[in-house]
Amino acid sequence: MMTLRFATPQDAKQILDIYAPYITDTSITFEYDIPPLDQFTERIVNTTRRLPWLVCEEDGKILGYSYASPHLTRAAYQWDAELSVYTRQGHHRKGVGRKMYSALISLLREQGYYNLYALVTLPNEKSMGFHRSMGFSTVGIYPRTGFKLGAWCDMAILELALHEEFGAPAPLKTVHELTPEQIEAALHPEPCLIGIK
């Protein structure tokens, strides 16, 4: 049975094992080199000071991970977050990404974020379809913005607005300031009871 939880520094080796083929074999990430384990562990530590980093595991094996990071760094952008999701090879299209993204979006909404963004290297119809199914829409393209594996790549900018009204936002909460009930509802949502009144 797949379960969700927050990532810890002790997960870094398994998470990096998932990420490494995306670096070496694809243009999905624009990194060229696999980071050393200590540097990658520090990424998890730094991110989780304020934002969620989730893993989906089954029988102790991490099948995928997803995290949020600041979209841009100026003060006025603080209510925006950028999402990333990676699934272990051989475990795509099994609900891993959807499970993680749904929880991540719920947590960020509770923290007070307004806009979520995802950057998708093109062409990547699987990722584009996945993000559209999660409610994201394309708001722009960075043409020829990254050079990797011998080619220039376009980057799609996708956006999901978490609120209908855009008044003055409240101060953001860190993920550690959420209540146990908010965290439980995000990580273990109640199953939909369709047709039951």
Q: 3-163 belongs to which CATH class?
A: alpha beta
Query: Do the Cβ atoms of 77 and 29 come closer than 8 Å?
Result: no
Please name which of 57, 51, 50 lies closest in space to residue 18, comparing C-alpha atoms.
57
Which two structure tokens, joined as six digits, stand for 45?
């530590």
**Quick one: pLDDT at residue 89?**
87
Reported as a single tens digit per residue, the pLDDT across 99-148 is 999 999 999 999 999 999 999 999 999 999 999 999 999 999 999 999 99
Reported as a single tens digit per residue, the pLDDT across 35-73 is 999 999 999 999 999 999 999 999 999 999 999 999 999
Predicted confidence band at 92 (pLDDT cuts at 50, 70, 90)?
A: confident
**Residue spans of beta strands (DSSP E) within 49-166:** 53-58, 61-70, 80-87, 115-122, 137-148, 151-161
**Quick one: pLDDT at residue 191?**
56
Domain spans of the chain, in order of start: 3-163
Sheet of 151-161, strands arranged across? 3-6, 53-58, 61-70, 80-87, 115-122, 151-161, 137-148
